[in-house]
């Protein structure tokens, strides 16, 4: 019977001079290596979700609070569509900057199904920096074009006010909290860097689409409230997706 070495895959010849218990190619003892493999498999931590249940996520409730308080300020101050769009554009920029910082602070990460220039890449510091830079440039261009659209189509710049600035600060504080929360979870797991790069788009597109659709209707307080509530729902839903889906460990034990 042919014996295959479990380490180097050498097929042992019946005439091999080495002892029957030893691989003639790499010299390992078959039974000892098999025992080592068994211990290594037992030590592997299976993939798991590192995010706690939504009810325990303080950043979720802070996000809901920031959205609802912004809604109240918008109604009391009789905001225009331009004011609302500028607020949510600012929130999008904050989300993007937090994501760049999050990518750069990754200690270990997976590159499964992630390619650069159509090539598979290893989870190295260079790949981390390259991914963060690509995201920053692409995301920044998207928001630059969006900002110009707001300036042309709405009174966004003329609508800057103390109330608007206060709401931007609220969202900045919320996303700073969420950033710290996510970084702590990243250090406990092995997030996929490709998923981290694309998820912000999945989060911001629904919330901006909601407001843009709302702008097609006749402006009124009722319309403003309705679409700000719908935006809040989209924001919260994607927050949950981010916290629940990005924190799965990659298979195996990190080096």
- pLDDT tens digits, residue range 188-239? 888 889 988 988 888 888 777 777 776 666 567 888 888 888 888 888 888 8
> pLDDT at residue 53 above 60?
no
Q: pLDDT at position 155, please?
A: 81
pLDDT tens-digit readout, 114-138: 888 888 888 899 999 999 999 999 9
Read off the pLDDT band of 55 (50, 70, 90): low
Residues near 183 by beta carbon (within 8 Å), at least 6 away in sequence: 102, 105
Confidence of residue 245 (pLDDT cuts 50, 70, 90): low
CA distances from 221 to 79, 82, 88 (A): 9, 14, 18
Alpha-carbon dihedral 109, 238, 61, 93, rounded to 10 degrees: 80
Provide mean pLDDT across the span 103-109: 92
Q: Give residue 164's pLDDT.
A: 93
Q: In the chain, where are the structural domains located?
A: 3-43, 54-245
Q: Which candidate, 138, 154, 157, places its Cα nearest to that of 200?
A: 138
pLDDT at 6: 76
Q: 178: pLDDT confidence band, cut at 50, 70 and 90?
A: confident
Residues 147/71, Cβ–Cβ less than 8 Å: no
Of the given ranges (35-44, 92-101, 175-184), which has the lowest mean pLDDT? 35-44
The whole-number pLDDT of residue 41 equals 59
Higher pLDDT, 27 or 88: 88
pLDDT band at 169 (very low <50, low <70, confident <90, very high): very high
Cα(10)–Cα(55) distance, rounded to whole angstroms?
54
Residue 90: pLDDT over 50: yes
pLDDT of residue 43: 53
> DSSP assignment, residue 45?
P
- pLDDT score, position 56: 61
Half-sphere exposure of 79 (CA within 13 A, CB side): 29
User: How far apart are the C-alpha atoms of 225 and 72, rounded to whole Å?
Assistant: 9
Q: State the average pLDDT for the chain.
A: 81
Task: Reduce the DSSP state of residue 119 to 3 states and report it.
Answer: strand
């Amino acid at each position: 019977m042919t014996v295959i070495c479990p380490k180097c895959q050498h097929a042992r010849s019946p005439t091999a001079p080495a002892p029957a218990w030893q691989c003639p190619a790499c010299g390992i003892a078959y039974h000892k290596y098999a025992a080592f493999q068994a211990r290594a498999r037992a030590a592997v931590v299976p993939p798991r979700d590192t995010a706690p249940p939504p009810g325990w996520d303080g950043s979720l409730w802070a996000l809901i609070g920031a959205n609802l308080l912004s809604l109240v300020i918008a109604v009391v101050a009789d905001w225009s569509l331009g004011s609302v769009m500028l607020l949510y554009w600012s929130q999008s920029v904050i989300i993007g900057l937090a994501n760049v910082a999050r990518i750069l602070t990754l200690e270990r990460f997976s590159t499964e199904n992630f390619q650069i220039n159509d090539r598979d890449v290893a989870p190295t510091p260079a790949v981390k920096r390259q991914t963060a830079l690509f995201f920053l440039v692409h995301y920044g261009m998207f928001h630059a074009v969006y900002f110009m659209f707001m300036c042309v189509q709405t009174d966004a710049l003329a609508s800057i006010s103390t109330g608007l600035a206060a709401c931007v600060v609220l969202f900045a504080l919320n996303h700073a909290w969420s950033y710290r929360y996510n970084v702590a979870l990243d250090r406990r797991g092995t997030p996929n860097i490709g998923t981290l790069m694309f998820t912000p788009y999945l989060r911001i597109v629904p919330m901006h689409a909601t407001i843009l659709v709302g702008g097609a209707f006749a402006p009124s307080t009722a319309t403003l409230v309705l679409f700000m509530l719908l935006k809040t729902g989209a924001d919260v839903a994607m927050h949950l997706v981010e916290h629940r889906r990005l924190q799965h460990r990659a298979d195996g034990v990190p080096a």
